[in-house]
Chain A
Amino acid sequence: MATAEYPLEQPRRKPREFSISQAFSGWVETVDHKRLGLMYMVTALVFLLVAGVMATLMRIQLAVPNNHFLPPDTYNRLFTMHGTTMVFLVGMPIIAGMSNYLIPIMIGARDMAFPRLNAFGYWVFLFGGILLYLSYLGGGGLSGAGSAPDVGWFAYAPLTSQAFSRGHATDYWTLGILVAGVGSIASSINVIATTLSMRCKGMTLARMPIFVWVMLVDAWLILICIPPLSAAQFMLLADRYLGASFFNTQAGGSAVLWQHFFWIFGHPEVYVLIFPAFATLSEVIPVFSRKPIFGRSAMVAAVVAIGFISTGVWAHHMFTVGMTSVANIFFAVATLLIAVPTGIKIFNWAATMYGGKIRFSTAMLFCVAFLFQFLVAGLTGVMLGVAPFDWQLTDSYFVVAHFHFTLVGGFVFGVFAAIYYWFPKVSGRLMSEKLGKWHFWLFCIGFNVTFVPQHFLGFMGMPRRIYTYAPGRGWDGLNMLSTIGVAIQAAAILIFAWNVIRSLVHGAAAGDDPWDAWTLEWTTTSPPPEYNFETLPEVGSARPLWDLKHPDDPDWKYE
């Protein structure tokens, strides 16, 4: 072969010179799972910021009685867009982002099973999200009636019919979410194919990291629970534009059917959203407790059980629509049943920490806070699962407090744990622990100050989705407290943003394995090269890095 074809001293390319064509080929044409994962995460964080600002506006409006900060129409649009954005444009892309970035490097693969499908999923999701937000411009339609959707994130019929929702607001909601849903399905097919087919030599399902297991079940849930929503949205479109009468009660249709279809999607969806947090905890807690996870197979069995039971509990969102008592009892029991596998998970995380040599890094702090807050959320969930109790408190602030405890106290805390834990791998730099602790404590305090009072507001009868309230009902103080909590959370988020930016520029070099962890992603460099691994790894146990670091006492001896 030619030896002297290249000059010995090659002209050095200037590092980080920005050119549009390079950025285009690097970020728009890319099919690399790590870049797509990052794009998902960054997009999700941008939407998180937008929806967070919406929540802040709503809390300012509710801080004092008879407030005129926001007009009622705007308030309706804000809570609809806040809910829709948080579920479909924050939660779903974070799931896709985390599974995209982490699954291949945790199972020792070079990319996802279908890289182009992966890119398709991201772009479709992004356009769906943009379409939803274009409603602010186009929602009025020719008649100028309406702007952004204002029908609530579950868009109950008949509010969405032509008679009650003029203009195109509802259509932006329907089509935006439909399109984003196609992206979610694409990405979950990819996750399933990747985890089942791309595992490196020796990585049996029994040795697969629990993170990957949970994300696999998550993808399965997305696969079976998004299509019911899409189907219902097709029906809604047909109702609105073809004169169909699925949800048109005057032609014999049923508005309750929409509720069933929506919650057949909607309840599995809340498990879909909490799973990335479960996945993160199952990796972070063992590493920072210096113990293998307690009850590994029980953890996997529990998550698989949740994956099935959660498809049969949806109607507990509908105890007040007048189902038969048989249906009420069935769904109440199924709801209580699902607390069992969830309880197993909480106990196993606690048992993993028990007797461990715990290092309270920021990631670990978020996980510990998760355990407490998610426990509270689970307990209020069991309370609401009891039909007679639900009759008292449905559509009150108690429900708002409950699901924000699961989704903020659970999901968001889990995602922050994940960011603090994997940021060094992704960027090659450590995040500041000092700023991280400020972030954690402010966010934890702010979160609880915001949402703990809302339980009591619910008990005192404050309904959800009201844009203002009269003074003298005993709601004033707690509402003010709740709004103050938002300010504390906002400060925490600013510190977090500063921490990310500062660490990207000035953070200490992380090295390959800053946490002394045990899964495969810590064997490659930080950030991983485009091909992930020079040679594909081979594993002999669930903790391949433990085996590598302790050749005298490897795990595979005990399997």
Chain B
Amino acid sequence: MASITTTPPQIAEWKTPDRGTVGIISLIITESSLFMIFVIAYLFYIGKSINGPYPKDVLEFPWWASICLFSSSGTIVLAEHALKHGKMGVFKGWWGLTILLGLEFIHQTAAEWYHLIYVDNLRISTNLFGTTFYMLVGLHATHVIVGLVFLLIVFIVTMMGFPAQTQIRRITFLSWYWHFVDAIWVVVLTTVYIIGR
């Protein structure tokens, strides 16, 4: 088989999109589709619970948790910036702070759930509010935890001396996922704590 050249002689510089970029964007699209259905279910069932407790009785707007999660999007950008400029110490600092903020978000969610379950007696089987609330917020929290696992892996191997600056591309993808989880929180926050209350 001879080599195949079936082109007109003038071929411009050839560049295709990075496959990782396309892959992570596709993943985010498919995840958005998953969340969309849970959000639709939540919106559909607002006010349809036939017994209490109702959202307005038990839900507190999660100021502190939201501030933590939203600022973690900022700290991860700062960490990335430091990594691109080779400042490994600064990178580790911001990255560690991102993890702490994520952990605090999960801690806040856990405290909220504990209060709802043991004080307010709202369980997944109590009413439609409980059903949709725990599924939607739980799905988001699961995504935060998955993100935290990956952030921790990066943090631990970096602390052990792995040169993270060689993996800037992958760390960027991870930060995109983290931003996505943040953006979903905007939707969940609006749906559950603003529209739904």
Contacts and interface: CB of A to CB of B under 8 A. Distances in A.
Interface in A510-559: 512, 520, 523-525, 533-535, 537-541, 544-545, 547-548, 554, 556-557
B135 A235 contact: yes
B19 interface: yes
From DSSP, what is the main secondary structure of chain A's interface residues?
Answer: helix
B125 A244 contact: yes
B138 to A, nearest CB: 10
Interface stretch (A188-196, A365-373, A424-432): A188-196
Contact of B3 (A113, A235, A534, A544): A534
B118 interface: no
Nearest to A555: B6
A246 interface: yes
Q: What's the interface size class on A, roughly?
A: 35 or more
A525 B41 CA distance: 53
Nearest to A225: B33
A99 B63 CA distance: 47
B27 interface: yes
Interface in B1-53: 1, 3-8, 11, 14, 16-20, 22-23, 26-27, 29-31, 33-34, 36-38, 41, 44-45, 48-50
B7 A523 contact: no
A201 B7 CA distance: 9
A559 to B, nearest CB: 9
B106 interface: no
A540 B11 contact: yes
A251 B128 contact: yes
A320 interface: no
Contact of A224 (B11, B29, B131): B29
Contacts of A312: none
Q: What's the interface size class on B, roughly?
A: 35 or more
Given A189-B26, A198-B16, A540-B11, A252 B48 contact: yes
A214 to B, nearest CB: 17
Contacts of B66: none
A338 interface: no
B1 A538 contact: no
B37 A539 contact: no
B23 A189 contact: yes
B187 interface: no
A284 interface: no
Contacts of A114: 19, 23
6 A-B pairs with the lowest CB-CB distances in the bound complex, closest first: A243-B125, A231-B37, A540-B7, A227-B34, A197-B19, A227-B33
Interface of B: 1, 3-8, 11, 14, 16-20, 22-23, 26-27, 29-31, 33-34, 36-38, 41, 44-45, 48-50, 123-125, 127-128, 130-132, 134-135, 139
Interface of A: 113-114, 185, 188-190, 192-194, 196-199, 201-202, 223-228, 230-232, 234-235, 238, 242-246, 251-254, 257, 261, 264, 512, 520, 523-525, 533-535, 537-541, 544-545, 547-548, 554, 556-557
